[in-house]
Amino acid sequence: MFVQDKRKTKGFPVDLTPSTSTGGYPIRVVARLTGIPVDTLRAWERRYQAVEPVRDERGRLYGDSDIRRLKLLRRLVERGHAIGRVARLEEAELGAMAEAALDVGDRNRRADVVDVRVLLDALDAYDLAALERRLGKFAAVLSTRELVHEVVLPFMHQVGEGWQVGRFRVAQEHLAAVAMRDLLGGMVRTHAPRDGRPGIVFATPPGERHELGLNAAAMLAAAGGIPVICLGADLPPDDVVEAARRTGAQAVVLAITMGEGIARTLDAVCHISSSLPEGVPTFAGGAAAESHPDDLRSAGAILVRNFDALEQAYRSLGARY
Ligand code: B12
């Protein structure tokens, strides 16, 4: 028996909780979660050993990692890859190939698959556990990069809107921020590279407490395999510089949302960019950063207008998508 959330999104079950102690999903549920017909699943297993589910007396049981893997395989096959060639690749390799194939059009088309309302409902009820569990379900079936673009950003946007129109109180916005920080922590752990490559320091300047965009920026770096040193909001400039020096960071990313006090913020940006070691760039994004392109340039920072441009910058720093 599965506990299934009644609110479904166009046939995509959003809250399926496996009732077995092994945490496994039977093949019919996997077919629904991955969009791969049962017969095809069996053929992929038999012929290509695409996944190797455990078996018990009731049949095959698949784990979250099998589902992630099957989703990636389906996406690659849809784009013309032969299943026989990709079926046995490591998950990281499949992820890199699938990320490379994901474009903006795909994102828009896929937006209807994910419905962040279940997250907003959890927030309505002040239910952090449900929020994190539901985020976990999305994380099981989407790649990290998809999770950021299709779940995290739309969710944060809705939280912001909800806060503004009085649906959410500050306490609920704080709960959402906690869930996002936990999610980021998980991503940093999961994607931590072992090759000792330098990381990126993330922070907001003094007086800037809006950190949701910053967290999303950090998640995308983690998704690309770049080590993340996320210091959070309202940081003294010297602390940002010190963290970058001590960790041998290859860049600093600042999020600047608030127009109020922008002169002080720009002073801080200037201090950071001029104190960093030679060759370590300072990137800045967010609403107020976008409104002050010339001032930012004068302060020695590179304006990043959106998350696509940010990913482009990460690629130049070695991110693998
Ligand atoms: C949530 C929120 C807060 C929370 C922030 C909590 C947190 N943990 O981050 C709290 C309650 C702390 C807060 C406080 C305040 N806030 Co406020 N807040 C918001 C709100 C509702 C949502 C902002 C948000 O995080 N959205 C989600 C993110 C993901 O979206 P986004 O900010 O729009 O960012 C987009 C892009 O800019 C980009 N982006 C963002 N960061 C980055 C970084 C990089 C590197 C890149 C590439 C891109 C990028 O990504 C997003 C794309 O979708 C907005 C109103 C709104 N609806 O936007 C006001 C808003 C930002 N706040 C505002 C104000 C004035 C304040 C306060 C002064 C209010 C007060 N009187 O107390 C204080 C000041 C706090 C401070 N000193 O910083 C104003 C700012 C106006 C301005 N231009 O200066 C806004 C616009 C509300 C308004 N219309 O007046 N706020």
pTM over 0.85: no
Burial 157-184 (b: 16+ CB within 10 A, else e): ebbbebeeeeebeeebbebbbebbeebb
Window from 108-112, 199-203, 240-244, 255-259 with minimum mean pLDDT? 108-112
Give Cα separations from 265 to 57, 206, 237 (angstroms): 63, 7, 10
Name which residue sits closest to atom 91 of ligand 1, judged by CA: 210
Q: Across the chain, which distance is largest between two alpha carbons, in Å?
A: 68
Q: Cα separation of 311 and 142, whole Å?
A: 18
Question: What single-letter amino acid sits at 239?
Answer: D
Q: Cα separation of 272 and 282, whole Å?
A: 8
| Contact (Cβ atoms closer than 8 angstroms) between residue 286 and residue 213 | yes
Q: Cα separation of 153 and 50, whole Å?
A: 32
Answer yes or no: is pLDDT of 292 > 80: yes
Answer yes or no: is pLDDT of 99 > 80: no
Q: Cα separation of 257 and 253, whole Å?
A: 13
- Structure letter (DSSP) for residue 12: B
Q: Is 210 in the pocket of ligand 1 (CB under 6 A)?
A: yes
Q: Is 257 in the pocket of ligand 1 (CB under 6 A)?
A: yes
Q: Is 258 in the pocket of ligand 1 (CB under 6 A)?
A: yes
Q: Which residues pair with 55 in a beta bridge?
A: 60
Instruction: Catalogue all structural domains in the chain, each as residue range(s) with its CATH number.
Output: 3-98 (1.10.1660.10), 102-191 (1.10.1240.10), 194-321 (3.40.50.280)
pLDDT-above-70 percentage for the chain: 87
Task: Give me the pLDDT at residue 101, please.
Answer: 63
- Under the banding of pLDDT at 50, 70 and 90, the label for residue 247 is very high
* 97: three-class secondary structure by DSSP: helix
Q: Which residues pair with 229 in a beta bridge?
A: 201
Q: Is 303 in the pocket of ligand 1 (CB under 6 A)?
A: no
Orientation angle between helical segments 38-48 and 27-34, nearest 10 degrees: 100
Window from 8-12, 112-116, 173-177, 199-203 with minimum mean pLDDT? 8-12
Q: What is the mean pLDDT of the chain?
A: 85
* Count of Cβ atoms closer than 10 Å to residue 196 Cβ: 7
Ligand 1 atom, smallest distance to 156 CA? 27
Choice from 210, 230, 252, 256 to test ligand 1 binding pocket (greatest atom count within 8 A of CB): 210
Q: What are phi and psi of 280, to 5 degrees?
A: -100, 110
- Under the banding of pLDDT at 50, 70 and 90, the label for residue 248 is very high
Q: Is 156 in the pocket of ligand 1 (CB under 6 A)?
A: yes
Residue 70: enclosing H or E segment and its boundaries? helix 64-78
- Under the banding of pLDDT at 50, 70 and 90, the label for residue 227 is very high
Q: Is 308 in the pocket of ligand 1 (CB under 6 A)?
A: no
Choice from 152, 252, 257, 291 to test ligand 1 binding pocket (greatest atom count within 8 A of CB): 257
Answer yes or no: is pLDDT of 12 > 50: no
